[in-house]
Amino acid sequence: MVPLETTFAENDESLVLGREEWRNELLKSLDESRMLLAFQSAVEQRGEGLSILHEEIFLRLLDRDGVIHSAGCFIPVATSLGLIDTLDRYMIEKVFKHIKDHNPITPLAVNLSADFVKKYANIQWLRTQLEQFYRQNDLILWFEVSNTVALHEFGAVSSLSSIIKMFGYRFGIDHFTIPASGVQYLQAIRPDYIKANSAYLQDMMFDRDTGKTQESFNNLIRSLGISIVAINIEDAKEVENLKALGIDRFQGTHIAPLTLLQ
């Protein structure tokens, strides 16, 4: 397993294609297995050390010149072309194959797109895949959707969460922020965890005027049985600040680099 930034160039400006050229490139990348899996570890503080919670899976595109491109290069294009849920299915199948071939002990987490979640056929397909996986493997899987998807596709996400939990797996909400309408939707979805930006958590939980910790956000989330994972952590000071606020789960470049799954 090799960190991307130390081995591969992610040059997003080198792949300039028209709309149909992009469609052909994305579909061929799936057929030729040039859509690669990468991961980043999320960790938990236990005593004096850190233990891995899960490894979140990301897609990376390997072009025909051998250059690896980040998701920001091709995901918006795939979304506009209506191919994003096709990529999600590919990612899920690839994850299951990796587990079958390598029998990892660390849980893997998959983030699902809005296009995947809102189509009933995709949810039923995923349920079938999970039923087959569940009978063959006891590895715990984690699934996530963004906070925006949870709000805009509330019914579908609630159904998805129930299915995931039925198999004993984990369900989470990524890039969480409290919407103006409040957090009632969390009571119906019942995620096991939320992931929120480190800076957002610090703003929500620390009163800069008084210099005191505000426990209301932490207490509100944990009263629902939901754990908090701070993401986008870039330096050690952020970790120390978050620990002082009662946060003990972390993800970001300071914690672990993005690494190819091999």
Kindly provide the b/e burial profile for residues 160-191, where b requires at least 16 CB atoms within 10 angstroms of the residue's own CB: bbebbeeeebbbbbbbbeeeeeeeebbeebeb
Query: pLDDT tens across 206-225, in order?
Result: 766 665 556 677 777 888 89
Q: How confident is the model at residue 9 (pLDDT cuts 50, 70, 90)?
A: very low
Average pLDDT along the chain:
90
Which pLDDT does position 14 carry in this prediction? 55
Task: With a cut of 80, say whether residue 184 has pLDDT above it.
Answer: yes
Give the pLDDT mean for 117-146: 95
Percentage helix, strand, coil, to 5, in the chain?
45, 25, 30
Which pLDDT does position 65 carry in this prediction? 87
Q: How confident is the model at residue 83 (pLDDT cuts 50, 70, 90)?
A: very high
User: Among the ranges 2-6, 16-20, 243-247, which has the highest mean pLDDT value?
Assistant: 243-247
Give the span between the Cα atoms of 113 and 142, in whole angstroms: 14
Give the pLDDT mean for 141-158: 97
Query: pLDDT tens across 164-182, in order?
Result: 999 999 999 999 999 988 8
Q: How confident is the model at residue 261 (pLDDT cuts 50, 70, 90)?
A: confident
Give the span between the Cα atoms of 51 and 57, in whole angstroms: 18
The CA-atom distances, in angstroms, between 73 and each of 9, 67, 69, 162 are 13, 12, 6, 33
List of E strands, 80-131: 108-111
Helix 120-136 to helix 154-166 angle (10° resolution) is 10
Residue 37 belongs to what H/E stretch?
Answer: strand 35-46
Tell me phi and psi for residue 96, to 5 degrees. Answer: -60, -40
Which pLDDT does position 204 carry in this prediction? 83
Give the pLDDT mean for 48-60: 94
Which pLDDT does position 49 carry in this prediction? 85
For the chain, domains (ranges, CATH) are 4-260 (3.20.20.450)
Residues 6+ apart with CB under 8 A from 72: 12
Which pLDDT does position 208 carry in this prediction? 65
